[in-house]
Amino acid sequence: MDFNLNDEQRLLSDTINRFVTDRYDFEHRLAAMAQPDGFSRSTWEELAELGLLALPFAEEDGGFGGGGLETMIVMEACGKGLLLEPFLATAILAGGALRLAGSDPQKSQRIEEIISGAHIMALAHHEPDGPRHTLTRLTTQALPVEGGGWRIDGRKTAVIAGAAADELVVSALAPQGPSLFLVDAANPGVTVVRRHGYDGVALADIAFDDVRLDEAHCLGVAGEGAQTLRTVFEHANAAVCAEAVGIMSDILDTTIEFLRTRTQFGVPIGSFQALQHRAVDMLMELEMARSMAMLAAMSLELDAEPRARNIAAAKARVGSAARMLGQQAVQLHGAIGLTMEYKVGHGFKRLTAIDALFGDADHHLDALAQAGGLLANA
């Protein structure tokens, strides 16, 4: 495999990293978190102006046709800045479902507005009383109504950017099987309760009570929603693996700087050999996680079975590395590492949330074991 970036990828990396460095410091994040939407609308518009929201969509739909490596570049930079804006929710999750399953009219009505930043979308899939990490066991119901169309009833929880979304992609169990539906957030019967996750990311709990939709709002073929979601979550896991690498890289840099400047007994604590060894262990975990995130990104174009194995292995290994590196960083910083005024604690919380998203390390280890291991059929 060629691990070198081409000219376009280097330009993308320079653009997004310069934006994060110049425009998204920690104080900006704190201010964005306090906004009604839980993120900065002006920053979202800037991301659109940079063309980043066009990245995952095909060129024939008005996008740039970026692949896994391009998404990795963007998400790693987002991790370094701990960006709150709903790139994952709109471009990867809901946008991914639209890209994979949407009809030409559905795409043409939405993708251009997504790319411009005018249309925010969110994926509403997880349910408060349902099993975790399921694609098929849904309590939200989609029933056909006389004369055509659908009726949606159910509850969704922890919808990323759900309160700010103009439109939702909702999973529901139809008579044909798990299906996906496009639901306007202002539709009668939709009730949104906004909240924040422990990592500061804006979430929502959403209720659907007798929500009526016409046939045009079924995304893809009724009964094929699970297949679409499986692929969407694979892309999402590759994306958050890259985000975690960016967070870990920033945390490690901050920790090393702290070891160089914090003094004890009249000398920098970084001169203590035991702490040097811990910093080296953190670096090794980061580089392992970076390699696995790259494996996940480059596996998105593979066939279904090797793609699923590689991404499960990456998510499990990145989750383990994130836990170790985050814990060490907080310990080395002492009490300041847990304060709301210090970025390291925010990064550790986000790493913890990333591990839980779309299947935690234990879930993916189980999936990998059931598939026969990473080298099955090699």
- Chain segment 279-316, per-residue pLDDT in tens: 899 999 999 999 999 999 999 999 989 999 999 999 99
Q: How far from the centroid of its chain's Cα atoms is residue 106's Cα?
A: 23
Over 70: is that where the pLDDT of 2 sits? Answer: no
Q: Is the pTM of this model over 0.85?
A: yes
Average pLDDT over residues 319-331: 92
Instruction: Write down the pLDDT at residue 129.
Output: 81
Query: Class assignment of domain 7-119?
Result: mainly alpha
In the chain, CATH 2.40.110.10 covers 123-222
In the chain, CATH 1.20.140.10 covers 226-370
Instruction: Write down the pLDDT at residue 258.
Output: 87
Over 70: is that where the pLDDT of 226 sits? Answer: yes
Provide the 3-class DSSP secondary structure of residue 183: strand
How would residue 92 be classed by pLDDT, with cut points 50, 70 and 90? very high
Provide φ and ψ at 12, rounded to 5°: -60, -45
Closest CA to 174 of 198, 149, 197, 157: 149
| Residues ≥6 apart with Cβ < 8 Å to 10 | none
Neighbouring-strand partners of residue 282? none
Instruction: Write down the pLDDT at residue 376.
Output: 59
Over 80: is that where the pLDDT of 329 sits? Answer: yes
Average pLDDT over residues 5-16: 90
Instruction: Write down the pLDDT at residue 267.
Output: 84
CATH of range 123-222; options 3.40.50.920, 3.40.470.10, 1.10.540.10, 2.40.110.10: 2.40.110.10
Average pLDDT over residues 148-167: 95
Provide φ and ψ at 115, rounded to 5°: -60, -35
Closest CA to 254 of 123, 131, 344, 146: 344
Instruction: Write down the pLDDT at residue 377.
Output: 58
Instruction: Write down the pLDDT at residue 182.
Output: 97
Average pLDDT over residues 229-248: 96
Taking all residues of the chain, what is their mean pLDDT, rounded to a whole number? 91
Q: Which CATH superfamily is domain 226-370 in?
A: Butyryl-CoA Dehydrogenase, subunit A, domain 3 (1.20.140.10)
Average pLDDT over residues 317-323: 94
Neighbouring-strand partners of residue 192? 206
- Among 2-6, 77-81, 96-100, 253-257, which stretch is predicted with the lowest mean pLDDT? 2-6
